[in-house]
Chains A and B, each alone.
Chain A
Amino acid sequence: MAKKIAHECSAATRTEFHATHDHPYHFLDCGLPNVHLVGIRYLECQCGDKTVEIPAIKQLMALIARHIVMKRDALTGAEIRFLRKRLGQKAIDFSLRIKLQTSTLSRVENGKQSISEKADVYIRIYYAFAAKDPVLLDALKNALDRVLAIRHKTKSTKPQKTIARIEQNQWALEAAA
């Protein structure tokens, strides 16, 4: 069996490439299988190692996250993991916040289980608030305005009671009677 010779990659062993639309750089290190970068420079060594120059990496990662949250298709496990890692949260903390068991989240992230549509939406909303992304927050506000506008158009009947009850020194709203 041929043994791979360990060597120090250098200018002599590397070739420089420019990532274009025809030959983009496959950005697997972001944790997603489908992100390709254009307009950057990367070096490929004879040994197969690739070194890439990515400017403004945090802005790029935030942009990818925004794209995931805004997409119409259901979130994949890898995308959910991406959003969690973007927020810098351990699986146990993230699962608590999105009301999923840690073991369920693990199966979801590994593509062994899918999540409900409700959980999908909840993760997107949670990410928008936690990341404080102004574009996502604005999109959420617009979506809420649209829902409320439809509600306002419908004829309202007698206004429902809002009941607040105090228990153990803590207020909670009850469903209307």
Chain B
Amino acid sequence: MDRGIVTDDIIHGLESEWTFERRPQFNRTTWQWKYYIAAETVDGDAITIVIAVDTWRREFVTVTRWRKK
């Protein structure tokens, strides 16, 4: 996660209204789908939550970055 973003910002972002920032991408090397979600932190700042879904291990990884509105 980028500096300043905390877990509750992600929870808030995913529980509030969000949109896809761009089309999901599939990485053939890692066999992973990546979903890019445009959301906001608790304080209303724009963030991108990247959710990488590992279909083999049945896990997902969340990476979050600040985004310019």
> Which residues of chain A have a CB within 8 Å of any CB of chain B?
8, 10, 29-31, 51, 53, 57-58, 61, 82, 84-86, 88-91
Contact = CB atoms under 8 A, between A and B. Distances in A.
Interface residues of B, number: 15
Contacts of B59: 53
A57 B11 contact: yes
A84 B30 contact: no
Contact of B42 (A29, A51, A57, A90): A90
Nearest to A49: B63
Given A51-B61, A89-B42, A29 B11 contact: no
Contacts, number: 39
Contacts of A86: 8
Given A61-B7, A85-B42, A8 B12 contact: no
A106 B33 CA distance: 39
B43 interface: yes
B43 A31 contact: no
B29 interface: yes
Nearest to A43: B61
Given A8-B29, A89-B42, 16 more contacts: A8-B30, A29-B7, A30-B8, A31-B6, A58-B11, A61-B11, A82-B6, A82-B8, A84-B42, A85-B9, A85-B42, A86-B8, A88-B8, A88-B42, A90-B42, A91-B43
Interface string B6-29: 111101100000000000000101
Contacts of A85: 6, 8-9, 12, 42
Contacts of A89: 42
A134 to B, nearest CB: 20
18 contacts: A8-B27, A8-B29, A10-B29, A29-B7, A30-B7, A31-B7, A51-B61, A57-B7, A61-B8, A61-B11, A84-B42, A85-B6, A85-B8, A85-B12, A85-B42, A86-B8, A88-B8, A88-B42
Nearest to B57: A11
Contacts of B9: 85
B43 A29 contact: no
Interface in B13-57: 27, 29-30, 42-44
A149 B9 CA distance: 42
B29 to A, nearest CB: 7
